[in-house]
Amino acid sequence: MGCNFSKEISDLVLMYSGYQYSLISIGKGVRLLKRYADDGILIFASQDYNSIVKEIKKLMLFYPSNLIINVKLNRVCCQYLDLSLSLDDVTAARNRVHHRTFFKRFHKFAYLDPWSNHPKHVFAGLIRTECIRYIRNSSLVSDYLHSLKLFRLRLLKLGYRSGFVKRNVVDYYYYQHRRKKLRQNLENKVVYPVVVHSAFLSCTC
Protein backbone atom coordinates (compact mmCIF):
# COMPACT_ATOMS: atom_id res chain seq x y z
CA MET A 1 0.00 0.00 0.00
CA GLY A 2 2.34 2.68 -1.24
CA CYS A 3 0.69 5.96 -0.26
CA ASN A 4 0.85 8.44 2.59
CA PHE A 5 -2.51 7.32 3.99
CA SER A 6 -2.07 3.56 3.72
CA LYS A 7 -2.61 2.95 7.44
CA GLU A 8 -5.79 5.04 7.58
CA ILE A 9 -7.21 3.39 4.45
CA SER A 10 -6.41 -0.12 5.68
CA ASP A 11 -8.01 0.67 9.05
CA LEU A 12 -11.21 1.76 7.32
CA VAL A 13 -11.35 -1.50 5.36
CA LEU A 14 -9.93 -4.02 7.84
CA MET A 15 -10.38 -2.80 11.42
CA TYR A 16 -14.06 -3.64 11.91
CA SER A 17 -13.71 -6.97 10.10
CA GLY A 18 -10.82 -7.98 12.35
CA TYR A 19 -12.77 -6.85 15.41
CA GLN A 20 -15.80 -8.99 14.48
CA TYR A 21 -13.58 -12.02 13.90
CA SER A 22 -11.71 -11.55 17.19
CA LEU A 23 -14.99 -11.57 19.14
CA ILE A 24 -15.67 -15.19 18.18
CA SER A 25 -12.13 -16.55 17.85
CA ILE A 26 -9.71 -14.96 20.36
CA GLY A 27 -9.20 -17.39 23.22
CA LYS A 28 -10.63 -20.28 21.18
CA GLY A 29 -9.03 -21.03 17.82
CA VAL A 30 -6.68 -18.04 17.95
CA ARG A 31 -4.37 -16.86 20.74
CA LEU A 32 -3.32 -13.57 19.17
CA LEU A 33 -4.43 -11.39 16.25
CA LYS A 34 -2.49 -8.19 15.52
CA ARG A 35 -2.48 -5.94 12.46
CA TYR A 36 -0.71 -2.75 11.47
CA ALA A 37 -1.76 -1.26 8.12
CA ASP A 38 -1.76 -4.21 5.70
CA ASP A 39 0.60 -6.43 7.73
CA GLY A 40 -0.81 -8.89 10.27
CA ILE A 41 0.16 -11.76 12.53
CA LEU A 42 -1.93 -14.68 13.82
CA ILE A 43 -0.90 -17.08 16.58
CA PHE A 44 -3.10 -20.15 16.71
CA ALA A 45 -4.16 -22.17 19.73
CA SER A 46 -3.65 -25.47 17.88
CA GLN A 47 -0.81 -26.95 15.84
CA ASP A 48 -3.22 -29.04 13.78
CA TYR A 49 -2.98 -27.99 10.13
CA ASN A 50 -6.68 -28.54 9.37
CA SER A 51 -7.75 -26.44 12.36
CA ILE A 52 -5.45 -23.61 11.28
CA VAL A 53 -6.76 -23.65 7.70
CA LYS A 54 -10.31 -23.64 9.06
CA GLU A 55 -9.58 -20.53 11.15
CA ILE A 56 -7.97 -18.74 8.20
CA LYS A 57 -10.99 -19.48 6.01
CA LYS A 58 -13.24 -18.17 8.77
CA LEU A 59 -11.20 -14.96 8.93
CA MET A 60 -11.48 -14.51 5.15
CA LEU A 61 -15.28 -14.47 5.46
CA PHE A 62 -15.10 -11.23 7.44
CA TYR A 63 -12.96 -9.39 4.88
CA PRO A 64 -14.15 -7.97 1.55
CA SER A 65 -14.34 -10.70 -1.10
CA ASN A 66 -12.24 -8.73 -3.63
CA LEU A 67 -9.32 -8.38 -1.19
CA ILE A 68 -6.22 -10.43 -2.03
CA ILE A 69 -4.52 -11.75 1.12
CA ASN A 70 -1.22 -13.64 1.16
CA VAL A 71 -0.85 -16.08 4.06
CA LYS A 72 2.43 -17.71 5.15
CA LEU A 73 2.35 -20.51 7.71
CA ASN A 74 5.38 -21.45 9.79
CA ARG A 75 5.70 -23.36 13.07
CA VAL A 76 8.98 -21.81 14.26
CA CYS A 77 9.50 -18.35 12.74
CA CYS A 78 7.79 -15.40 11.08
CA GLN A 79 8.42 -11.79 10.10
CA TYR A 80 6.08 -9.05 11.31
CA LEU A 81 6.77 -5.39 10.49
CA ASP A 82 10.48 -4.86 11.29
CA LEU A 83 10.75 -7.91 13.58
CA SER A 84 11.92 -11.44 12.98
CA LEU A 85 10.25 -13.74 15.54
CA SER A 86 11.40 -17.31 16.14
CA LEU A 87 11.18 -20.25 18.51
CA ASP A 88 14.72 -21.60 18.95
CA ASP A 89 17.43 -22.26 21.55
CA VAL A 90 17.00 -18.75 22.97
CA THR A 91 13.30 -19.48 23.50
CA ALA A 92 14.13 -22.72 25.31
CA ALA A 93 16.66 -20.98 27.59
CA ARG A 94 14.64 -17.83 28.37
CA ASN A 95 11.07 -19.08 27.91
CA ARG A 96 10.24 -16.22 25.54
CA VAL A 97 10.12 -15.57 21.82
CA HIS A 98 13.47 -14.72 20.23
CA HIS A 99 13.15 -11.42 18.34
CA ARG A 100 15.57 -9.35 16.31
CA THR A 101 15.47 -6.70 13.58
CA PHE A 102 14.16 -7.88 10.23
CA PHE A 103 15.36 -6.20 7.03
CA LYS A 104 13.18 -6.63 3.97
CA ARG A 105 14.81 -8.01 0.87
CA PHE A 106 14.33 -4.79 -1.12
CA HIS A 107 15.03 -2.34 1.72
CA LYS A 108 16.75 0.74 0.28
CA PHE A 109 18.32 2.08 3.53
CA ALA A 110 17.77 5.65 2.31
CA TYR A 111 19.74 7.45 5.04
CA LEU A 112 20.57 11.15 4.82
CA ASP A 113 23.52 12.04 2.63
CA PRO A 114 26.31 13.25 4.99
CA TRP A 115 26.99 16.20 2.66
CA SER A 116 23.40 17.46 2.70
CA ASN A 117 22.64 20.86 4.23
CA HIS A 118 21.28 19.66 7.60
CA PRO A 119 22.39 20.68 11.11
CA LYS A 120 24.96 18.36 12.66
CA HIS A 121 22.59 17.17 15.40
CA VAL A 122 20.24 15.75 12.75
CA PHE A 123 22.88 13.26 11.60
CA ALA A 124 23.74 12.39 15.21
CA GLY A 125 20.04 11.87 15.94
CA LEU A 126 19.68 9.58 12.92
CA ILE A 127 22.44 7.31 14.22
CA ARG A 128 21.19 7.28 17.82
CA THR A 129 17.53 6.64 17.02
CA GLU A 130 18.41 3.81 14.62
CA CYS A 131 20.61 2.26 17.33
CA ILE A 132 17.75 2.54 19.85
CA ARG A 133 15.43 0.80 17.38
CA TYR A 134 17.92 -2.06 17.01
CA ILE A 135 18.25 -2.38 20.80
CA ARG A 136 14.50 -2.52 21.31
CA ASN A 137 14.15 -5.10 18.56
CA SER A 138 16.93 -7.36 19.88
CA SER A 139 16.53 -10.13 22.43
CA LEU A 140 20.29 -10.57 22.71
CA VAL A 141 23.31 -8.28 22.65
CA SER A 142 24.68 -10.34 19.76
CA ASP A 143 21.55 -9.53 17.71
CA TYR A 144 22.08 -5.82 18.33
CA LEU A 145 25.80 -5.97 17.52
CA HIS A 146 25.06 -7.76 14.24
CA SER A 147 22.53 -5.10 13.16
CA LEU A 148 24.91 -2.36 14.35
CA LYS A 149 27.81 -3.77 12.33
CA LEU A 150 25.74 -3.69 9.12
CA PHE A 151 24.48 -0.19 9.97
CA ARG A 152 28.04 1.12 10.41
CA LEU A 153 29.11 -0.35 7.07
CA ARG A 154 26.19 1.33 5.28
CA LEU A 155 26.97 4.71 6.85
CA LEU A 156 30.68 4.47 6.00
CA LYS A 157 29.78 3.54 2.43
CA LEU A 158 27.63 6.70 2.21
CA GLY A 159 30.58 8.82 3.36
CA TYR A 160 29.97 9.26 7.10
CA ARG A 161 33.18 9.71 9.10
CA SER A 162 34.12 6.71 11.23
CA GLY A 163 34.81 8.84 14.33
CA PHE A 164 31.45 10.62 14.08
CA VAL A 165 29.60 7.30 13.79
CA LYS A 166 31.51 5.83 16.74
CA ARG A 167 30.76 8.82 19.00
CA ASN A 168 27.01 8.60 18.39
CA VAL A 169 26.50 4.83 18.64
CA VAL A 170 24.31 3.93 21.64
CA ASP A 171 25.74 1.38 24.08
CA TYR A 172 23.37 -1.57 24.60
CA TYR A 173 23.90 -2.00 28.35
CA TYR A 174 23.79 1.74 29.08
CA TYR A 175 20.46 2.11 27.26
CA GLN A 176 18.93 -0.90 29.03
CA HIS A 177 20.14 0.46 32.38
CA ARG A 178 18.54 3.86 31.65
CA ARG A 179 15.25 2.19 30.68
CA LYS A 180 15.26 0.13 33.88
CA LYS A 181 15.94 3.20 36.04
CA LEU A 182 13.22 5.18 34.29
CA ARG A 183 10.73 2.34 34.78
CA GLN A 184 11.59 2.13 38.48
CA ASN A 185 11.22 5.89 38.90
CA LEU A 186 7.79 5.81 37.26
CA GLU A 187 6.67 2.90 39.46
CA ASN A 188 7.89 4.61 42.63
CA LYS A 189 6.43 7.98 41.73
CA VAL A 190 3.31 8.77 43.74
CA VAL A 191 0.78 11.06 42.10
CA TYR A 192 -1.46 13.02 44.46
CA PRO A 193 -4.67 14.26 42.82
CA VAL A 194 -5.46 17.91 43.39
CA VAL A 195 -9.14 18.73 43.88
CA VAL A 196 -10.18 22.35 43.60
CA HIS A 197 -13.59 23.42 44.89
CA SER A 198 -15.11 26.54 43.43
CA ALA A 199 -17.84 28.53 45.15
CA PHE A 200 -19.73 31.61 44.08
CA LEU A 201 -20.60 33.97 46.91
CA SER A 202 -23.63 36.12 46.53
CA CYS A 203 -22.93 39.82 46.88
CA THR A 204 -25.16 41.67 49.29
CA CYS A 205 -24.67 45.30 48.45
CA dihedral 64→67→73→79, nearest 10 degrees, is -110
- Within 8 A by CB and 6+ apart from 191, the residues are none
The answer to whether residue 191 is domain-embedded is no
pLDDT of residue 126: 92
Domain count, the chain: 2
State which of 27, 55, 73 marks the end of a domain: 73
pLDDT of residue 39: 82
Residues in the chain: 205
86, β-bridge pairs:
77, 98
Task: Identify the H or E element spanning 98.
Answer: strand 98-101
pLDDT in tens, the chain (205 residues): 556 667 777 777 777 777 777 777 777 777 778 888 778 888 887 778 888 888 888 888 888 777 777 888 888 888 888 889 888 888 888 888 899 999 888 888 888 899 999 999 999 999 999 999 999 899 888 999 999 999 999 999 999 999 999 999 988 887 877 777 777 776 666 555 555 544 444 555 4
Q: Which domain holds residue 35?
A: 6-73
What is the pTM assigned to this prediction? 0.71
The answer to whether residue 180 is domain-embedded is no
Residue 142 backbone class (left: φ over 0; alpha: ψ -120 to 50; beta: rest): alpha
The answer to whether residue 198 is domain-embedded is no
The answer to whether residue 184 is domain-embedded is no
Helices (H), the chain: 6-25, 49-62, 89-94, 120-137, 141-158, 162-168, 172-188
pLDDT of residue 131: 92
Maximum distance among all Cα pairs of the chain, rounded to whole angstroms: 85
